[in-house]
Amino acid sequence: MIEALDVTVRLGSKTVLHDISLTARAGALTAIVGPNGSGKTTTMKALAGEIACDGRVLIGGEDIRSLKPWQLATRRAVLPQASVISFPFTVREIVRMGLTVGASTTRVGGTSADPGLADRIAREALDAVDLGGFAGRFYQELSGGEQQRVQLARALSQIWEPVRDGRPAFLLLDEPVSSLDIRHQLTIMRLAADYCRRGGGVVAIMHDLNLTAMFADQVVMMKEGRVVAAGAPQAIMTDGMMETVFGCPMRVSVPPPAGIPFVLPQTTMA
Protein backbone atom coordinates (compact mmCIF):
# COMPACT_ATOMS: atom_id res chain seq x y z
CA MET A 1 0.00 0.00 0.00
CA ILE A 2 1.07 3.57 -0.64
CA GLU A 3 0.35 6.05 2.14
CA ALA A 4 0.74 9.79 2.20
CA LEU A 5 0.83 11.12 5.76
CA ASP A 6 0.31 14.85 6.29
CA VAL A 7 2.11 15.73 3.06
CA THR A 8 2.64 19.43 2.46
CA VAL A 9 4.30 20.72 -0.71
CA ARG A 10 5.45 24.28 -1.27
CA LEU A 11 6.51 25.55 -4.68
CA GLY A 12 8.31 28.82 -4.07
CA SER A 13 6.26 30.75 -1.53
CA LYS A 14 2.97 29.08 -2.53
CA THR A 15 1.69 26.06 -0.62
CA VAL A 16 0.33 23.69 -3.27
CA LEU A 17 -0.62 20.78 -1.02
CA HIS A 18 -1.95 21.26 2.52
CA ASP A 19 -1.50 18.28 4.85
CA ILE A 20 -2.68 15.67 2.38
CA SER A 21 -3.27 12.20 3.75
CA LEU A 22 -4.40 9.32 1.56
CA THR A 23 -4.04 5.61 1.28
CA ALA A 24 -3.91 3.56 -1.93
CA ARG A 25 -4.30 -0.16 -1.31
CA ALA A 26 -2.85 -2.96 -3.39
CA GLY A 27 -5.55 -4.78 -5.33
CA ALA A 28 -7.54 -1.57 -5.71
CA LEU A 29 -7.75 1.16 -8.33
CA THR A 30 -7.57 4.53 -6.61
CA ALA A 31 -8.75 7.45 -8.74
CA ILE A 32 -7.79 11.03 -7.90
CA VAL A 33 -10.32 13.54 -9.26
CA GLY A 34 -10.70 17.27 -8.91
CA PRO A 35 -10.70 20.50 -10.89
CA ASN A 36 -7.61 21.89 -12.69
CA GLY A 37 -5.02 23.19 -10.26
CA SER A 38 -6.38 21.21 -7.32
CA GLY A 39 -3.01 19.53 -6.71
CA LYS A 40 -3.62 16.14 -8.33
CA THR A 41 -0.36 16.01 -10.30
CA THR A 42 1.64 17.41 -7.35
CA THR A 43 0.16 14.66 -5.18
CA MET A 44 1.24 12.11 -7.77
CA LYS A 45 4.77 13.57 -7.83
CA ALA A 46 4.94 13.35 -4.04
CA LEU A 47 3.79 9.70 -4.16
CA ALA A 48 6.41 8.97 -6.85
CA GLY A 49 9.13 10.49 -4.67
CA GLU A 50 10.23 13.04 -7.25
CA ILE A 51 9.57 16.25 -5.28
CA ALA A 52 10.59 17.36 -1.81
CA CYS A 53 7.72 17.51 0.68
CA ASP A 54 6.98 17.79 4.38
CA GLY A 55 5.29 14.79 5.91
CA ARG A 56 5.90 11.21 4.89
CA VAL A 57 5.15 8.96 1.96
CA LEU A 58 5.30 5.24 2.66
CA ILE A 59 5.34 2.43 0.13
CA GLY A 60 4.82 -1.00 1.65
CA GLY A 61 5.45 0.61 5.05
CA GLU A 62 8.87 2.01 4.06
CA ASP A 63 9.59 5.72 3.78
CA ILE A 64 10.32 6.44 0.11
CA ARG A 65 13.14 8.75 1.17
CA SER A 66 14.98 5.73 2.59
CA LEU A 67 14.80 3.89 -0.75
CA LYS A 68 17.30 4.29 -3.58
CA PRO A 69 15.98 5.26 -7.04
CA TRP A 70 16.47 1.73 -8.38
CA GLN A 71 14.69 0.25 -5.34
CA LEU A 72 11.74 2.59 -5.89
CA ALA A 73 11.75 1.58 -9.56
CA THR A 74 11.00 -2.02 -8.55
CA ARG A 75 8.03 -0.91 -6.42
CA ARG A 76 6.28 1.61 -8.64
CA ALA A 77 6.24 2.84 -12.22
CA VAL A 78 4.95 6.21 -13.39
CA LEU A 79 3.10 7.28 -16.52
CA PRO A 80 3.71 11.01 -17.02
CA GLN A 81 1.19 13.31 -18.72
CA ALA A 82 3.12 13.93 -21.91
CA SER A 83 6.60 13.06 -23.08
CA VAL A 84 8.50 14.80 -25.83
CA ILE A 85 11.71 13.11 -26.92
CA SER A 86 14.46 14.60 -29.04
CA PHE A 87 16.17 11.48 -30.40
CA PRO A 88 14.71 9.05 -32.96
CA PHE A 89 14.08 6.02 -30.74
CA THR A 90 11.83 3.24 -32.03
CA VAL A 91 8.81 2.08 -30.04
CA ARG A 92 10.63 -1.12 -29.22
CA GLU A 93 13.65 0.76 -27.87
CA ILE A 94 11.45 2.98 -25.66
CA VAL A 95 9.59 0.02 -24.16
CA ARG A 96 12.84 -1.87 -23.63
CA MET A 97 14.16 1.10 -21.60
CA GLY A 98 11.66 0.27 -18.87
CA LEU A 99 13.29 -3.14 -18.75
CA THR A 100 16.97 -2.34 -19.03
CA VAL A 101 16.80 0.45 -16.49
CA GLY A 102 14.01 -0.89 -14.34
CA ALA A 103 13.82 -4.14 -12.54
CA SER A 104 11.49 -6.70 -14.13
CA THR A 105 14.32 -8.72 -15.58
CA THR A 106 17.02 -7.60 -13.20
CA ARG A 107 17.76 -9.16 -9.87
CA VAL A 108 18.48 -6.92 -6.89
CA GLY A 109 21.93 -5.46 -7.42
CA GLY A 110 21.38 -5.02 -11.13
CA THR A 111 22.80 -8.27 -12.50
CA SER A 112 21.57 -11.08 -14.71
CA ALA A 113 19.28 -9.50 -17.24
CA ASP A 114 17.70 -12.14 -19.45
CA PRO A 115 17.34 -10.66 -22.95
CA GLY A 116 14.80 -13.29 -24.03
CA LEU A 117 12.57 -12.52 -21.08
CA ALA A 118 12.96 -8.79 -21.62
CA ASP A 119 11.86 -9.19 -25.24
CA ARG A 120 8.84 -11.26 -24.26
CA ILE A 121 7.71 -8.81 -21.56
CA ALA A 122 8.13 -5.80 -23.82
CA ARG A 123 6.19 -7.47 -26.62
CA GLU A 124 3.36 -8.52 -24.31
CA ALA A 125 3.24 -5.01 -22.82
CA LEU A 126 2.83 -3.54 -26.32
CA ASP A 127 0.10 -6.07 -27.09
CA ALA A 128 -1.61 -5.14 -23.82
CA VAL A 129 -1.90 -1.49 -24.87
CA ASP A 130 -3.10 -2.57 -28.34
CA LEU A 131 0.13 -1.56 -30.10
CA GLY A 132 1.27 -4.99 -31.25
CA GLY A 133 3.02 -4.47 -34.60
CA PHE A 134 4.17 -0.95 -33.71
CA ALA A 135 7.61 -2.09 -32.46
CA GLY A 136 9.49 -0.84 -35.51
CA ARG A 137 7.79 2.55 -35.70
CA PHE A 138 9.49 5.77 -34.62
CA TYR A 139 8.05 7.18 -31.40
CA GLN A 140 8.11 10.72 -32.80
CA GLU A 141 5.91 9.71 -35.74
CA LEU A 142 3.08 8.37 -33.58
CA SER A 143 -0.06 10.28 -32.64
CA GLY A 144 -0.44 11.67 -29.11
CA GLY A 145 -2.68 8.81 -28.03
CA GLU A 146 -0.31 6.21 -29.44
CA GLN A 147 2.67 7.85 -27.70
CA GLN A 148 0.72 7.78 -24.44
CA ARG A 149 0.11 4.05 -24.86
CA VAL A 150 3.79 3.42 -25.66
CA GLN A 151 4.70 5.18 -22.42
CA LEU A 152 2.17 3.03 -20.56
CA ALA A 153 3.71 -0.12 -22.07
CA ARG A 154 7.10 1.16 -20.92
CA ALA A 155 5.85 1.77 -17.37
CA LEU A 156 4.05 -1.57 -17.36
CA SER A 157 7.19 -3.50 -18.37
CA GLN A 158 9.08 -1.85 -15.53
CA ILE A 159 6.84 -3.58 -12.96
CA TRP A 160 5.50 -6.38 -15.14
CA GLU A 161 4.68 -8.65 -12.21
CA PRO A 162 1.97 -7.03 -10.04
CA VAL A 163 3.36 -8.86 -7.03
CA ARG A 164 7.09 -9.47 -6.77
CA ASP A 165 8.80 -11.19 -3.84
CA GLY A 166 5.52 -10.90 -1.93
CA ARG A 167 5.44 -7.11 -2.40
CA PRO A 168 2.75 -5.48 -4.53
CA ALA A 169 3.87 -3.01 -7.20
CA PHE A 170 2.07 0.24 -8.00
CA LEU A 171 1.28 1.94 -11.29
CA LEU A 172 0.99 5.72 -10.90
CA LEU A 173 -0.88 7.04 -13.93
CA ASP A 174 -1.29 10.76 -14.61
CA GLU A 175 -4.37 11.06 -16.85
CA PRO A 176 -3.82 7.69 -18.56
CA VAL A 177 -6.79 8.05 -20.94
CA SER A 178 -6.78 11.80 -21.58
CA SER A 179 -5.82 11.63 -25.26
CA LEU A 180 -7.32 8.25 -26.15
CA ASP A 181 -10.37 7.34 -28.21
CA ILE A 182 -13.25 5.64 -26.39
CA ARG A 183 -12.22 2.10 -27.35
CA HIS A 184 -8.69 2.58 -26.06
CA GLN A 185 -9.96 4.39 -22.95
CA LEU A 186 -11.79 1.18 -22.09
CA THR A 187 -8.78 -0.98 -23.06
CA ILE A 188 -6.49 0.95 -20.74
CA MET A 189 -8.94 1.12 -17.84
CA ARG A 190 -9.54 -2.65 -18.12
CA LEU A 191 -5.77 -3.15 -18.18
CA ALA A 192 -5.46 -1.10 -14.97
CA ALA A 193 -8.34 -2.97 -13.32
CA ASP A 194 -6.74 -6.27 -14.32
CA TYR A 195 -3.42 -5.19 -12.80
CA CYS A 196 -5.26 -4.62 -9.52
CA ARG A 197 -7.10 -7.94 -9.78
CA ARG A 198 -3.72 -9.68 -10.03
CA GLY A 199 -2.59 -8.08 -6.77
CA GLY A 200 -0.92 -4.83 -7.89
CA GLY A 201 -2.11 -1.32 -7.10
CA VAL A 202 -3.05 1.55 -9.39
CA VAL A 203 -3.33 5.25 -8.60
CA ALA A 204 -4.78 7.20 -11.54
CA ILE A 205 -5.54 10.87 -12.00
CA MET A 206 -8.85 10.97 -13.86
CA HIS A 207 -10.95 13.62 -15.54
CA ASP A 208 -13.65 11.32 -16.93
CA LEU A 209 -16.07 10.88 -14.05
CA ASN A 210 -18.02 8.08 -15.77
CA LEU A 211 -14.89 5.96 -16.30
CA THR A 212 -13.96 6.77 -12.70
CA ALA A 213 -17.31 5.50 -11.45
CA MET A 214 -17.01 2.39 -13.64
CA PHE A 215 -13.49 1.33 -12.71
CA ALA A 216 -12.39 2.94 -9.43
CA ASP A 217 -12.52 1.04 -6.17
CA GLN A 218 -11.70 4.20 -4.29
CA VAL A 219 -12.09 7.84 -5.30
CA VAL A 220 -10.06 10.65 -3.76
CA MET A 221 -11.62 14.07 -4.39
CA MET A 222 -9.28 17.05 -4.27
CA LYS A 223 -9.88 20.77 -4.23
CA GLU A 224 -7.44 23.65 -3.68
CA GLY A 225 -4.63 21.39 -2.49
CA ARG A 226 -6.72 19.47 0.02
CA VAL A 227 -8.42 16.09 0.07
CA VAL A 228 -12.16 16.83 0.32
CA ALA A 229 -13.42 13.26 0.39
CA ALA A 230 -12.21 9.71 -0.12
CA GLY A 231 -14.18 6.50 -0.42
CA ALA A 232 -16.04 4.15 -2.73
CA PRO A 233 -17.51 5.90 -5.81
CA GLN A 234 -21.09 4.96 -4.82
CA ALA A 235 -20.56 6.55 -1.42
CA ILE A 236 -18.94 9.85 -2.34
CA MET A 237 -19.95 10.63 -5.92
CA THR A 238 -23.09 12.48 -4.89
CA ASP A 239 -24.84 15.56 -6.31
CA GLY A 240 -23.72 17.63 -3.33
CA MET A 241 -20.09 16.50 -3.46
CA MET A 242 -19.88 17.20 -7.22
CA GLU A 243 -21.04 20.76 -6.67
CA THR A 244 -18.67 21.24 -3.73
CA VAL A 245 -15.62 19.95 -5.61
CA PHE A 246 -16.21 21.09 -9.19
CA GLY A 247 -18.33 24.16 -8.46
CA CYS A 248 -21.12 23.31 -10.87
CA PRO A 249 -24.43 21.63 -10.12
CA MET A 250 -24.68 18.18 -11.69
CA ARG A 251 -27.06 15.27 -11.29
CA VAL A 252 -25.39 11.97 -10.50
CA SER A 253 -27.66 9.22 -11.85
CA VAL A 254 -27.75 5.48 -11.37
CA PRO A 255 -29.16 3.25 -14.13
CA PRO A 256 -32.00 0.97 -12.99
CA PRO A 257 -31.33 -2.72 -12.34
CA ALA A 258 -31.03 -4.95 -15.39
CA GLY A 259 -34.25 -5.90 -17.20
CA ILE A 260 -36.18 -2.76 -16.37
CA PRO A 261 -36.82 -0.48 -19.38
CA PHE A 262 -35.45 3.01 -19.08
CA VAL A 263 -36.60 5.99 -21.12
CA LEU A 264 -34.34 8.97 -21.80
CA PRO A 265 -36.50 12.02 -22.56
CA GLN A 266 -33.43 13.89 -23.92
CA THR A 267 -33.81 11.81 -27.06
CA THR A 268 -36.79 14.01 -28.04
CA MET A 269 -34.42 16.97 -28.33
CA ALA A 270 -32.33 15.38 -31.08
Partner 1 sequence: MHPSNAVTGDIMAPDPRRVSPFAGLRADWAAGDRSRLARLLILVLVIVTSFAFGASVMTGAADASVGNLLRWLTGTETAEAALSLRDRIIILDIRLPRAVLGLLVGAALAVSGAVMQGLFRNPLADPGLVGVSAGAGLGAVLTIVLGASVFGPLFALVGIYALPVAAFLGALLTTFLLYRIATRGGQTSVATMLLAGVALAALAGAVTGVLIFVADDKQLRDLTFWGLGSLAGASWTKIAGAAPIILLSLAVVPFLARGLNALTLGEAAAFHMGVPVQRLKTVAVVTVAASTGAAVAVSGGIGFVGIVVPHVLRLLIGPDNRYLLPASALLGGTLLIVADMVARTIVPPAELPIGIITAFAGAPFFLWILLRGRTQMGL
* Residue 163 Cβ vs partner 1, minimum distance, rounded to whole Å: 19
Query: Is 122:157 a contact under the CB 8 Å cutoff?
Result: yes
Of the pair 71, 213, the CB lying nearest partner 1 is at: 71
Residues 148-167 that bind partner 1 (CB under 8 A): 151, 154-155, 158
246 binds partner 1 (CB under 8 A): no
Distances (CA, A) of 20 to 46, 225, 230: 10, 8, 12
* Residue 191 Cβ vs partner 1, minimum distance, rounded to whole Å: 19
Of the pair 52, 263, the CB lying nearest partner 1 is at: 52
176 binds partner 1 (CB under 8 A): no
State the angle between helix axes of 91-101 and 144-158 in degrees (0 to 180), rounded to the nearest 10: 30
74 binds partner 1 (CB under 8 A): yes
| Burial of 219 from C-beta contacts in 10 A (0-12 / 13-18 / 19+) | buried
Residues 120-139 that bind partner 1 (CB under 8 A): 123, 132-138
SS3 content of the chain, % helix, strand, coil (to 5): 40, 25, 35
70 binds partner 1 (CB under 8 A): yes
Of the pair 69, 247, the CB lying nearest partner 1 is at: 69
Residues 191-230 that bind partner 1 (CB under 8 A): none
Q: How far is CA 38 from the centre of its chain?
A: 17
CB atoms within 10 A of CB 199: 16
CB atoms within 10 A of CB 139: 22
Distances (CA, A) of 83 to 15, 86, 148: 26, 10, 8
50 binds partner 1 (CB under 8 A): yes
62 binds partner 1 (CB under 8 A): no
Residues that bind partner 1 (CB under 8 A): 45, 48-50, 52, 68-74, 76-78, 80, 83-94, 97-98, 100-103, 119, 123, 132-138, 140-141, 151, 154-155, 158
